[in-house]
Copies of this chain bind each other. A is one copy, B any other.
């Protein structure tokens, strides 16, 4: 594996090996597997967890990292092929990626969806173009359609919580948010859950089905792993017997790229689609609440859930570092044990 762009880049055996290594590294965080290795981190979008957990992961394994944040201390970057660059962006990723690759043994890049054209964003072409421009190993730190480090951390979190892979009951629920958000996290959470072979329910208001391309891909994985996949707008039905509720907001596909109309369509859902403790009544007694963070308190989810015993969000974030250490070692061919 040269590039980690998507959970699918890890075949079943490597996925198990990386999870196993992540578990080992959680117990033994310090090591020398990345001694002498330089990791370059390019953040085209804001970050807290990824920014800090990637640096900590590298440093705790003896390596070193540098960070480039275009627009905040660095030149704004153009991403479109053939662009006539007479606007704000002074640098093109066609130069930036191969240049940075010369200073590092691995690049990690965050580059969110543009939010204009659904087909373009779902094709995830930009992160793939950047990986193609990079002669060194490359990690996707959240792209238009995938957040595969999050997906792997979430997998480990479900394992940690002893929520079964085959047959575990996983609900991916839409939640209200003031902005039309991209599909990277819900697509990756869905892929993770079906790859685990779980019984997956997508709970969302009418008009908020995930795009067909994402659903078809999930169904294809489910058919291989034995996962089940259904959708509903009925909360009681959706939450029935749930072991884990994964909340996330995303844009209504029919209005993609038209934020004003999308906002009008989304507006009436605000109060009903904020996750509250009452949502869990039909669920298993100790059902867990997951979210990738950052989360808008009392908008997407009430304090009572986030501050209560169901919340696994801190553990999820902690697992980001453990799985990223394992991924870095996998990609750089180090030997951690």
Contact = CB atoms under 8 A, between A and B. Distances in A.
Interface residues of A, number: 60
23 contacts: A43-B73, A46-B74, A46-B90, A47-B74, A47-B75, A48-B74, A48-B91, A48-B96, A49-B99, A51-B73, A56-B104, A59-B64, A83-B297, A84-B297, A85-B297, A92-B294, A94-B306, A95-B293, A95-B294, A95-B295, A95-B314, A96-B294, A99-B293
Contact of A86 (B86, B99, B296, B318): B296
A60 interface: yes
A305 to B, nearest CB: 12
A48 to B, nearest CB: 5
A99 B303 contact: no
A99 B296 contact: no
Given A95-B294, A293-B99, A60 B38 contact: yes
Given A40-B52, A72-B72, A91-B295, 20 more contacts: A38-B56, A40-B56, A47-B75, A48-B74, A48-B99, A49-B99, A51-B66, A51-B68, A51-B73, A56-B66, A69-B72, A73-B73, A83-B297, A84-B299, A86-B299, A90-B294, A95-B293, A95-B295, A95-B306, A99-B318
A321 interface: yes
A30 interface: yes
Interface of A: 30, 36, 38, 40, 43, 46-49, 51-53, 55-56, 59-60, 64, 66-70, 72-75, 78, 82-86, 90-92, 94-96, 98-100, 102-104, 178, 293-299, 303, 306-307, 313-314, 317-318, 321
Contact of A36 (B30, B68, B307): B30
A318 B52 CA distance: 26
Contact of A73 (B36, B38, B69): B69
Contacts of A94: 297, 306-307
